[in-house]
Amino acid sequence: MTVTIKNNEAIEKMRVAGRLASQVLDFIQPKIKAGVTTEEIDKICHDYMVNVQQTIPAPLNYAPPGHSPFPKSICTSVNHVICHGIPGAKKLKNGDSINIDITVIKDGYHGDTSRMFHVGEPSIQSRRLASLTYECMWAGIAQIRPGAHLGDIGSAIQKLAESAGFSVVREFCGHGIGTTFHEDPQVLHYGAAGTGMRLEPGMIFTVEPMINAGKRDIRQLADGWTIVTKDHQLSAQWEHTVLVSETGFEVLTVSDETPEPPNGLTFAV
C-alpha cells in the first residue's frame, strides 16, 4: 500500500476542491422536492459544476476495471439504494430519502462529499437512520490524528451503528484521494481499534459510512453500478474528505450550508 503524503501546495488545492464539492450540495438542496427526477437533479448539478464553478464532474464516464463508464455526473441513491445510484426518470416523492454524492475536479485535484436529504416529511426510521449515520461519520472523523490507526475509525463507526440496531455495509469503504479519484489507503467502516496503518500528517482520505436499517447484505443491479440492500430496507450515507493535520484533523468539504458537527465536535482540531 502506497499512501501519498500531500505537501502544502496539494493540501491547499484539496481545500479548494473540497469546498467546491460541498457548494454543489448547497446549491442543489432547495431543488430537492417531490416531483423532481434524479435526472433533473443531475443536470442542474452538472451545469453548475461545468458552467459556474468550471470544475469537472469526476463520476461522468468514470470506469474502474470491470465497470462500464458511469453515465452521469453525480450519484443519487434513493431509499434502499446504498450507493452509486444512477440518476434517471423516476420522480422523487414525499417521504423519500436521498443521498447525493458529489465529486469535482479542480486544477487536477478531487473534492468528494455526500449528504442525506429528505423529501417532504420522512418516516421516523428514515430520519433516525440518517441522523445516526451522520453521527457515525463524525465518530470516525473524531478518531483522526497523527499516530492513530485506521482501525480506530472503523471501530468507532461500527460500535455506534450496531449499538443502535443498524448494520455497516462492508463491501465499500472510504479511500485516499488527491489527483486520483481513489487512492490508498482504504478506510474501512468497521474493525478493531489499534489495528491498521498509522496515520501521518498530510494524508487525505474520505470517511463515508453506509449504514443499513436492516441487515448489511447487498445486491448489485443489472446496470453494473447501483448497489441496494438485499432485504430492501433503508440505507443512509454521509461523506467528508478529511486531512490528517499536525494536531488532529481538518475536514476539507465544508461550505456555508454544511451541517454542523454533532456532540460539540468541530471541523478542524
The pLDDT tens digits for 58-96 are: 999 999 988 899 999 999 999 999 999 999 999 999 999
* Mean pLDDT for all residues in the chain: 97
For 28-42, what is each residue's pLDDT tens digit? 999 999 999 999 999
Average of per-residue pLDDT across 220-225: 96
Q: Where are the domains of the chain?
A: 8-251
Residue 95's Cβ-count burial label (10 Å; 0-12, 13-18, 19+) is middle
Q: Give me the CATH topology for the region 8-251.
A: Creatine Amidinohydrolase (3.90.230)
In whole angstroms, what is the distance from residue 192 CA to residue 190 CA? 7
Q: What is the pLDDT of residue 250?
A: 98
Q: What is the pLDDT of residue 203?
A: 98
- 267: which residues sit within 8 A by CB, 6+ positions away? 250, 251, 254, 258, 261
**Are the C-beta atoms of 192 and 155 separated by less than 8 Å?**
yes
How many CB atoms are located within 10 Å of the residue 89 CB? 8
Percent pLDDT > 90 in the chain is 98
**Degrees to nearest 5, angle at CA 187 with 164 and 175:** 125
In whole angstroms, what is the distance from residue 114 CA to residue 106 CA? 17
For 257-268, what is each residue's pLDDT tens digit? 999 999 999 999
For 3-19, what is each residue's pLDDT tens digit? 999 999 999 999 999 99
* pTM for the structure as a whole: 0.96
Average of per-residue pLDDT across 221-237: 97
